[in-house]
Amino acid sequence: MVNDNNGDAIASEGAAQATTASKPIIKKRNAKRKQNFAQIHKDALPLEVYPLPAFHPTHPLSVLQLIWTCLKQLAYPPSSHPAQQYLGYMSKESRSVHITEPAHVRALWERGFFGKGTLSRSEPSWMDREKARIAARSQGGQTAEEVTKARREERRLFKLERARIERERIERQRLMEQGKLVTNVPSEGDTLLDNAADIHISAAVSDAGVAGSIEPVDGDLSIPLPNEDLALYAPDIENQEHLQLTLEEAFFLKYALGVLDIHADGSPDNVSLTDNRDLFDLFRHTSKFDTSPMGMDDQFILNYVVYHHFRSLGWVIRPGVKFSVDYLLYNRGPVFSHAEFAILIMPSYSDPYWSTSEGRSKKRMQDQKDWWWLHCINRVQSQVKKTLVLCFVDIPPPCATDEELTVRALLSRYKIREFIVRRWLMNRSRD
């Protein structure tokens, strides 16, 4: 009796082992290490901030620590500016300022999202993407951009084939109605169209198989991979990318923050542009495509007034040419969320001077727009889930002392009015 039970136990154990061995062992892929954007972009501007210690009313020592910190910062105030100013080079050909030092590039992007990589869509990540491409080729794989390109090409070919079969089916149906085609034998087009779902599923499975050969990438494809993983495969590569600042961004860093040192040409030995008024006039001349004299409604002045206004309110402001506007407003930055507002600069000649014959002759821009123009712009913003903001800039009349005024005194003559424009939808506005 005992022997039978032992035999059954041994048989059961053997069956369990066989069942376990027959199951495929699935190894979980290591989770992708995501970048902590909240820590990387913790500073809103490229300035050092020294917060006071926390105060707890129930903790007496916190009061002493707070008093000691205040007295120390009053006696020896720390500098909020970096030890070495960021270095930039003025480029009249591209009407921008170039930042070539890698440390300065990362600092300006991570602390305020200033500029754009010349070989990237926004964040200067060409170097990391190039290393990832070389590392993937050495391992026989593909980068995320290459996988996405192959998937899109396969989908495009599938749609073309589906459209061709649909046209043939319609033509065949027309011939059948005219009695010119025998209907007994099913055609190839009918079979293919009936199995269109299977074709789509097989294409999706094929995409999954291709994607399974590499590590999946979460979020934006422009986010670089960790540097320690790339250093194992990628050789030394010369960084061919630099940060490109618009004239408004460069002047804000120079005039408002005082953290940027701009040189006229591509060599630090040249004379640095230290005077704010001279740099302001240089940017005004550079931003224009003609050699006409400067006026109060120069495009650079209007752009910078709006840029400085929203930057001072805490917004991250980026160029908005992609959505047919002047600027885009981000709450924290492009890596956290999409832009909430689209800014359109509208020059306003509200001063009585611009109604005179002399004032009308000096106008450079059209202060009135057609209704269909506004409707087109607003429709675009509605499709991309953004709120259109018309930013009216009141242009002051010129005076004889404008050339002698400081930048602060000149900018203080401009005023800004903001208006939000939304589409009127009948279904949402019945009451």
Q: Which of 81, 200, 338, 375 is catalytic?
A: 338
Does some domain include residue 350?
A: yes
Domain housing 97 = 83-122+241-287
Supply φ then ψ for residue 397, to 5 degrees.
-75, 150
Q: Residue 260: what pLDDT?
A: 94
Q: Which of 131, 263, 386, 414 is catalytic?
A: 386
Tell me, yes or no, if 288 is annotated catalytic. Answer: no
Q: Residue 21: what pLDDT?
A: 46
Does some domain include residue 280?
A: yes
Same domain, 282 and 368: no
Same domain, 311 and 283: no
Does some domain include residue 337?
A: yes
- Give the C-alpha separation, 87 to 263, whole Å: 8
- Give the C-alpha separation, 14 to 2, whole Å: 18
Same domain, 149 and 116: no
Does some domain include residue 210?
A: no
Does some domain include residue 206?
A: no
Same domain, 308 and 326: yes
Same domain, 160 and 257: no
Does some domain include residue 37?
A: no
The reported pTM is 0.74
Kindly give, in sequence order, each residue whose CB lies less than 8 Å from that of residue 302, ignoring residues fewer than 6 positions away.
Answer: 345, 347, 393, 395
Decide: 417 and 371 in contact? Cβ < 8 Å. no
Same domain, 235 and 245: no
Tell me, yes or no, if 338 is annotated catalytic. Answer: yes
Kindly give, in sequence order, each residue whose CB lies less than 8 Å from that of residue 327, ignoring residues fewer than 6 positions away.
Answer: 306, 307, 310, 317, 318, 319, 320, 342, 343, 345
Tell me, yes or no, if 285 is annotated catalytic. Answer: no
Same domain, 250 and 393: no
Kindly give, in sequence order, each residue whose CB lies less than 8 Å from that of residue 233, ignoring residues fewer than 6 positions away.
Answer: 131, 134, 135, 138, 139
Q: Which of 330, 363, 369, 415 is catalytic?
A: 330
Give the CATH number, domain containing residue 349. Answer: 3.40.1350.10
Same domain, 283 and 294: no
Same domain, 344 and 423: yes
Same domain, 89 and 233: no
10-residue mean pLDDT profile of the chain (431 residues): values are 47 46 49 77 90 84 88 89 91 92 94 94 88 80 81 94 94 86 57 51 45 41 49 68 95 95 72 86 85 84 96 95 95 93 94 89 79 91 94 90 85 94 77 58
The CA dihedral of 405, 407, 411, 413, to the nearest 10 degrees, is: -10
Q: Residue 182: what pLDDT?
A: 66
